[in-house]
């Protein structure tokens, strides 16, 4: 290499390194989601989760502090909606549209495994400051547990790895890649009939770079995504025929 350190524009990530990282990180995220979903239920320890409020829409919102970092959890029982129906909108792209409406690109750029992919999310000029002209590379992993519980994990890749996926690609509209912005996911549990329990867990800015007041304000908004996605599911369900 003649002693020359590659610039960020020439840095690249091997497919094997990407696969190892994403498989390990997503498995850890899946286990954390399951643990967070079970905390405080069925006699389990709360593991630091404390209820913040239970709103009029039936959404229970809890918070867990870990040092200077905060994770939020929303939980709701949906009647007449099955886990298989809700999982159609429990994904990185539909959730990103809830974060910020000016999502100008959502592209699957790698298929790691049948249930594990890497996705580019790019926001435009009209987005809020956190998202304006920003590009996020996230993984999405979907698993079915032995008891039928469905789990979806979505989290950002580190900045260096995200930039190294396509080192020669010119960024459109001078978009800037952000890393480690969010770790999140859904746990979908089947209840009686066609109902289900939806738990959504999100930790924004796990690297701790953003002002905490800003992170907490946006986190509260993010946990309400569960209700917005419920409306998407119900709007897509076929109407019952008249009697």
Tokens 């039936």, located at residue: 58
Q: What CA–CA distance (Å, rounded) separates 203 from 222? A: 9
Distances (CA, A) of 102 to 3, 131, 146, 225, 230: 43, 9, 38, 16, 21
| Continuous segment of H or E residues that includes residue 100 | none
Q: Do 72 and 224 touch, CB atoms closer than 8 A?
A: no
What global pTM score does this model have? 0.84
| Cα dihedral value 13, 19, 22, 28, nearest 10 | -140
pLDDT tens track, the chain, 243 positions:
333 334 444 467 888 999 999 999 999 999 999 999 988 776 666 888 888 888 776 778 888 887 667 788 888 888 888 898 999 999 999 888 888 888 999 999 999 999 999 999 999 888 887 788 888 899 999 999 999 999 999 999 988 888 888 765 545 445 667 666 788 999 999 988 788 999 999 887 777 777 777 777 777 776 778 888 888 888 887 654 443
The per-residue pLDDT for 210 is 73
């Amino acid at each position: 290499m003649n002693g020359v350190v590659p610039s960020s524009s020439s840095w690249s990530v091997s497919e094997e390194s990407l696969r190892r990282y994403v498989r390990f990180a997503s498995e850890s995220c899946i286990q954390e989601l399951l643990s967070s979903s079970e905390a405080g239920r069925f006699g389990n320890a709360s593991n630091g989760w404390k209820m913040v409020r239970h709103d009029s829409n039936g959404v229970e919102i809890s918070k867990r502090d870990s040092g200077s970092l905060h994770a939020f959890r929303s939980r709701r029982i949906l009647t007449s909606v099955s886990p298989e129906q809700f999982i159609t909108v429990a994904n990185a792209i539909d959730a990103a549209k809830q974060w910020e409406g000016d999502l100008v690109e959502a592209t699957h750029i790698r298929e790691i495994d049948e249930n594990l992919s890497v996705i580019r999310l790019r926001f435009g000029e009209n987005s809020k400051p956190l998202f304006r002209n920003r590009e996020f590379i996230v993984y999405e992993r979907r698993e079915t547990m032995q008891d039928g519980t469905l789990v979806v994990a979505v989290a950002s890749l580190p900045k260096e790895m995200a930039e190294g996926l396509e080192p020669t690609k010119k960024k459109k509209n001078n978009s800037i890649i952000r890393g480690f912005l969010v770790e999140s996911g859904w746990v979908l549990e089947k209840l009686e009939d066609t109902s289900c329990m939806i738990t959504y867990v999100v930790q924004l800015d796990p690297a701790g770079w953003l002002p905490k007041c800003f992170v907490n304000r946006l986190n509260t908004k993010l946990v309400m995504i569960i209700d917005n996605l419920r409306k998407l599911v119900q709007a897509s369900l076929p109407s019952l025929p008249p009697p």
